[in-house]
Amino acid sequence: MIASPSRPCLPKAPSTARTTNRLAKEVVLLVVAGLPACSPGDAVQDGSAGVLVSVAELADIRDAAASGLEPHAANVAEFIAFVDGLNEASRGWPELSGEVVVDAPSSGDPVQLSSDGGRLVYGLAIAWHLAGDEEYARRAREMILDLTDTHGYRDASTTEFRFGGQGTLNLARGGTPYIYAAVLLEGWRGWTAEDKLAYQEWLRDVMYTKVAWASRFSKNNWGVAGSFSSALMAWYLGDHPDWQLEEVSPYVLPQSEVVDYTRPPDLHWLLLDPGNRLRLTPQQAFEAHNAYQIGRMLTTEEWRLDGLASIWGIQRNGAIPDEILRGPDPVDGDYLPSEGPGTNYTMTSIEHLTAHAEFLRRRGDRSIFDHVSADGSGSLLQAYRFVIDNPLGSHCFPSGTRNALYVAYRYYEHPALLRSIEECGESNIEGHRLALYGRLTHPLPIPGGGE
């Protein structure tokens, strides 16, 4: 581990004609309050960096809010009200225990793995640091440990778990923020070594195998969520370096003959035997699933995976064909004419990828944020611009998914990201699926704005 993370920071006033005196003034006030301006791509490089936010950053946000500085004061008040309301509503959720059977194709079943479930457990852990009330931490702990009494996650229409079923996606998206929360509970007296071990064993034995399938085989947002979740689990299990993480092998060859776990096999994945398993150490799994995420961005034949479109990956213009094909727009078009499902799934894929990029940035790895192939394809920033900064037709990210733009802007400082937030209005406080609470944790003073 590198000794200590760098100081949390706020974006510098952007060098764009849209910058106002008010924005510059607010940035100055925030710097005076102890939150320095960022350089592009400031990296936090050790385990205390959190997944999307660190304890140190939350402490500075808390202190700035207590001093009445905006946007922190308003953000924190809105955030606490949201978490309190969702926590109260969760008292009526069904108990989560034993075999879990997923009501496919619902992405909200069980509710604990829905968007609200992820927002709640992560929000509770953040709220503990912002408000200092241990009840938030206790409730987050309860939610995490409830998972350890579960297994299965088959679709209701099947008699056994099926890789690629709805349970795979719901674990990859809804289960991942639980890890965010567990990381923020480190150091709290109520989160014991026994608690952490029980949770880690459940991740290893129940969640990892199912989620890693999506990472290895899926080209669309299922795979993006799967690679991030698998890499994050491997990192979180890193204090057990000898553990074996089991997943469906993408390789026809036995493991003893596989020389590189970070690349896809030569043979088509439909020829594979689900009973052929790959067993990797946490370090091997971390490297493999990070590499698969980068590979998913590529447009080469090797990285087609299960892609159904005639082209795939992130194209030179930023289009993501495997998301666009789910709507009415052409996969090889120069823009997205409709507000249909292809556009929404494109935004979802970008949101998931941004969360993975930020997690790695905090480990000192900027590879997802910075990746661009020699021909200009494979760029996360260009994927954003295809949607929000397209001269032929642009779109606003929905209010929840828009939280990802705050995270992306903190790194890129690209004026198109700032302009989109200004013109579309600030996001809600909670976020969508994986880049949660971006407006709170990666704050940005917004001049004017509004829906």
Q: What is the pLDDT of residues 366-405, one digit of tens each?
A: 999 999 999 999 999 999 999 999 999 999 999 999 999 9
Nearest CA to 441 out of 36, 58, 49, 30 is that of 58
Enclosing H/E stretch for 245? strand 245-248
Nearest CA to 395 out of 310, 324, 444 is that of 324
pLDDT for residue 270: 61
Buried (b) or exposed (e) across 251-282, using 16+ Cβ within 10 A?
bbeeeeeeeebebbbeeebeebeeeeebebbb
pTM of the model: 0.89
pLDDT for residue 189: 96
Parts of the chain with a pLDDT under 70: 1-47, 267-271, 446-451
pLDDT for residue 257: 87
pLDDT for residue 102: 96
Q: State the DSSP code for 75.
A: H
Q: The tokens of 160 are what?
A: 């056994």
pLDDT for residue 35: 43
